[in-house]
Structure 1
Amino acid sequence: MNQEEPNKIEFLENDYAKQHYAQQVKKRREVIFRRRRLALVFAIATVIFLSVGISLFNDYLRLQNLEKYQSEAVATQEASKEKKAKLEKEVDLLEDEDYVAKIARDRFLYSKDGELVFPLPE
């Protein structure tokens, strides 16, 4: 390209042009300020939502652990109740002398007077 004349555009230096240029600069600054303020609001909202979301997730995990612990405790309680009922029944049976004598004959091969015991292989 040939060297052409320098830029032929000249800016007006009157009051109207200066005022118009000042208004444009002011509008640009306002737009930039609004964008920055909006970005800040979004950043703050994001931080708040993230913190609330994380705390909700942690509470959910804690709730799951507590429900698991509760179900285990309920199962243990039911097993203990069943075991207690069996033991109470056995205590009631052990208070009966005939039952105790029968158990002694079966387990320890005791016999009544004049009775013969023949152990059989199992």
Structure 2
Amino acid sequence: MMQGPEEKVTPIDTDFAKQQTAKMIKEHRQAIFRRRRLGLLFVIALTIFGFVGFNLYQDQQKVNELQAIKKEAVADQKVLADNVADLKTEVKQLQDEDYVAKLARSRFFYSEDGETIYPLPGDKQTDKTDEQVQKALENTHSSTTTEK
């Protein structure tokens, strides 16, 4: 009959053999304890790095959003600065009486004595003015008919 390798080995029942066996068992338990402790430290470190990494990712997303908002704000600020400059120029021009007279003549077809104005069809200002004149005429006709 064939015996397995464990059955062929017979332990020596001496104090030294018992000490060596106890020492090997103790070292084996310490190795298992060290592996468990190292695994626990690895899990804790992984958790901390994961948490910090997630916070860094969120912060980076917020920074990207704020940079996009800043770009929009800078673009809006440039547009508004241009508008302010145009409005300041217009205010300066409106303080000039000759400019105001010229503007009134071109937009509202005011004329000086002896002048005749001929509006051209298809002119945007003419179309708007025609609508304003029609509305004004309708208002005057309706107010005169209600007064009678």
- Same structural fold, with TM-score higher than 0.5 when normalized by the shorter chain: yes
Q: Which amino acid aligns with 2:38?
A: L
Q: Which amino acid aligns with 1:99?
A: Y
Q: For residues 92-107 of structure 1, what are the structure 2 equivalents within 5 Å?
A: 92-107=92-107
Give the match for residue 61 of structure 1: 61
Check if 1:85 corresponds to 2:85.
yes
Give the match for residue 136 of structure 2: none
Q: Distance in 1 between matches of 2:104 and 2:9?
A: 123
Q: Distance in 1 between matches of 2:102 and 2:85?
A: 22
Give the match for residue 26 of structure 1: 26
**How far has the Cα of 1:51 moved from its partner?**
1.3
Spell out, residue by residue over 1:35-89, the C-alpha distance to the aligned partner (whole angstroms, 9 max, x if none): 1111112111111211111111111111101111111111111111111111111
Q: For residues 36-75 of structure 1, what are the structure 2 equivalents within 5 Å?
A: 36-75=36-75
Give the match for residue 112 of structure 1: 112
Q: For residues 5-20 of structure 1, what are the structure 2 equivalents within 5 Å?
A: 7=7, 9-20=9-20
Q: Distance in 2 between matches of 1:111 and 1:120?
A: 16
Q: Which amino acid aligns with 1:39?
A: G
Give every structure 1 segment of 4 or more consecutive aligned residues whose post-TM-superposition deviation is greater than 6 Å.
Answer: none
Q: Distance in 2 between matches of 1:8 and 1:70?
A: 82
Distance 1:33 1:75, change over 3 A: same
**Residue correspondences, number:** 119
RMSD: 1.7
- TM-score normalised by length of structure 1: 0.88
Q: Distance in 2 between matches of 1:65 and 1:91?
A: 38
Which residues of structure 1 form unaligned runs of 5+? none
**How far has the Cα of 1:22 moved from its partner?**
0.2
Q: Identity over aligned residues, as a percent? A: 46
- TM-score normalised by length of structure 2: 0.74
Higher helix share: 2
Which residues of structure 2 form unaligned runs of 5+? 123-148
**How far has the Cα of 1:13 moved from its partner?**
2.3
Q: Distance in 2 between matches of 1:115 and 1:10?
A: 135
SS of residue in 1 equivalent to 2:17: helix
Q: Which amino acid aligns with 1:54?
A: F
